[in-house]
């Protein structure tokens, strides 16, 4: 598992730059990280339950906290803060950034929305009570 040697949050360009001990270095946009958050809110609880994230173009990381020696937990400007980004996951995102971004844009297109479409409100199920 590659371990990070450097982690820099560039506020103005909204990029998280991370270098690893294998010599790799990645610049990951905040929007990219937000739409690929490993949280259940984004990934769902199993295959096919992913929630397409929209309206995240201007999102920023407002804080980033270490989690043990294996991850970081960013807090995004839209309030999202439940994703734990392990070093392995950040490395994978860096390696696959172009492919994952193309897939994300294709999913937006297939859904008939774009990066700036506001997120739809979560569906609320109606519950009935019998008396």
> Quick one: pLDDT at residue 14?
97
Average pLDDT score over residue span 69-89: 96
Residues near 18 by Cβ (< 8 Å), separated by ≥ 6? 4, 6, 7, 8, 25, 26, 28, 90, 94
Radius of gyration of the chain (CA): 16
Number of domains in the chain: 1
**At 86, is the pLDDT very low, low, confident or very high (cuts 50, 70, 90)?**
very high
The share of the chain scoring above pLDDT 90, in percent, equals: 82
Query: If DSSP codes are grouped into helix, strand and coil, which group holds residue 38?
Result: coil
> Quick one: pLDDT at residue 130?
46
Which CATH number do you get for residue 97?
A: 3.30.2020.30
> Quick one: pLDDT at residue 48?
83
> Quick one: pLDDT at residue 36?
97
Q: Does residue 90 lie within any of the structural domains?
A: yes
Q: Does residue 127 lie within any of the structural domains?
A: no
Q: Does residue 29 lie within any of the structural domains?
A: yes
pLDDT at 129 over 70: no
Average pLDDT score over residue span 44-55: 89
pLDDT at 128 over 70: no
> Quick one: pLDDT at residue 10?
96
Q: Does residue 130 lie within any of the structural domains?
A: no
The residue segments making up the domain with residue 92 are: 4-111
**What's the whole-number average pLDDT of the chain?**
91
Query: Looking at the DSSP assignment, which residues form a beta bridge with residue 17?
Result: 8, 27
pLDDT at 121 over 70: no
Query: If DSSP codes are grouped into helix, strand and coil, which group holds residue 18?
Result: strand
């Amino acid at each position: 598992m590659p371990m990070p040697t450097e982690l820099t949050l560039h506020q103005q360009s909204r990029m998280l730059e991370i270098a690893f001990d294998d010599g790799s270095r990645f610049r990951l946009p905040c929007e990219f990280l937000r739409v690929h958050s490993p949280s259940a809110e984004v990934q769902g609880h199993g295959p096919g339950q992913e929630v397409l994230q929209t309206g995240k173009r201007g999102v920023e990381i407002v804080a980033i906290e270490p989690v043990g020696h294996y991850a970081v937990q960013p807090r995004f400007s839209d309030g999202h803060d439940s994703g734990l980004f392990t070093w392995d996951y950040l490395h994978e995102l860096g390696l696959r950034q172009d492919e994952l971004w193309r897939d994300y844009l294709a999913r937006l297109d297939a859904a008939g929305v774009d990066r700036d479409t506001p997120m739809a409100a979560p569906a609320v199920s109606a519950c009935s009570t019998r008396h």
